[in-house]
Structure formats: structure tokens, C-alpha cells
Amino acid sequence: MGINTIIDHTLLKPEASEDQIKKLCQEAIDYEFFSVCVNPTWIETAREVLKGSPVKIATVIGFPLGANSLETKVFESKDALDKGAHEIDMVINIGALKSKNYDQVKNEIQAVKKAIGDHILKVIIETCLLTEEEKKKASQLVVEAGGDFVKTSTGFSTAGAQVEDVRLIRSVVGDKAKIKASGGIRDYEKARAMVEAGADRLGVSAGLAILEGENHA
């Protein structure tokens, strides 16, 4: 099984144009990536291009800061599904976690998961802003709240995915949740290292470069 089958082909830049989103979707079809990951405003555009293909649509919620209200995140998530998204990548309330308001963090994840039902929920914990203990606690809360994936990063903060963080998250969640590594994975060597550390999915904008590296490995 090629690495393409676990890639969320991603374009979340605020300046991304319609043509760039359409190109992203066509590449996802051509290279058989698992999904595209786009901002909510582009879900319907992606749905049009991807119609009839097996490529899924993932979108981001409370992105990139995680500081929206619970009610906003729930509405955003339902709206995204109505427009054609299959998977939700939601940023936790990072400030609440750091304030040790663990019930608030857990309730938010539970509320979004309840709103989207059987659809996949990836919970972005933004590892670069957390201490080791906070990473462990956040991962534990994702499992307790019924999240499907712990996702490392938005790619919009001070750093992206780190191999040691993927390993740490895996040590906490075991087989109770999957892991998505995202942010700063730009070549095959780093992508492979993430998978070996325990990542089940990769969020990357450099999917084509990674596949090229895999072909020459």
C-alpha cells in the first residue's frame, strides 16, 4: 500500500484561489490520495471536482486558533457536512487546556462528535504550544470524548509535526484513537518517519514531492 493512500492533500492558505483548489482536487484524483483538506468556504468547489471519485473531503473547524465558542464549532461542523464534507479536523480550545479546564475541552470534543455522528473527527491539539504533560492530557481527553484521531498541528503555529510527539501520543492512546501528523512534512523521509512512529494519516501540502521521494526510495 503506497503512502498516497494515507495522505490528506492539503491547501489551507488564506490566499488560495479557486483554480488552486480545483488543481488540488484533480491532483488528489490523479494520485489517489485519501482526501483533500480545504477551508470550509471551498467544500462545495471540492465536491464538484471530486464528484464520482473516491477522494474524501476534510475541512477545518475553529481553525487555526481553536478559540471559537463551542456553539460556533458545532454549527460550523454541521454546516460543513451539509455542504459535502466527510471528515472534520477541529482545533481544541488550547487556552482551556492550559487553564486545566479539562471538562470544557472534553465537552467541546464530545459536542462536535455528537453533531457529526459517524463522520470522522480529527482533534487538533497543536503540540508545539503544549508541554509534554499537556500533550498527554490532551490525547487522553480526545480518547475519553470519543474523537477518532489526535492530530498534531494546524501548520499555522510555531512548529508542525514532530516524530517524538507522534510517538508520545501513540503511547497514550494505544489503539483507542488514530493519529494524524501534519505540518512541516515535506519529503518522503519525514513522512515515513511519522508513519513508523505511529501516524495513521498525514496532512501535507507537499504530497507530490513525497510520492516522488517514495518512488526513488
Which one of the listed residues 135, 178, 180, 190 is annotated catalytic?
Answer: 180
Question: Catalytic: 136?
Answer: no
106 catalytically annotated? no
User: Which entry of 8, 56, 73, 89 is annotated as an active-site residue?
Assistant: 89
What b/e readout covers 5-36, taking b as 16+ CB neighbours within 10 angstroms? ebbbbbbbeeebeeeebeebbebbbebebbbb
CA 166 to chain centre: 13
Catalytic (active site) residue 190: no
Place of cell 513525497: 210
Choice among 106, 113, 151, 178 that is catalytic: 151
**Which residues are the active-site residues?**
89, 151, 180
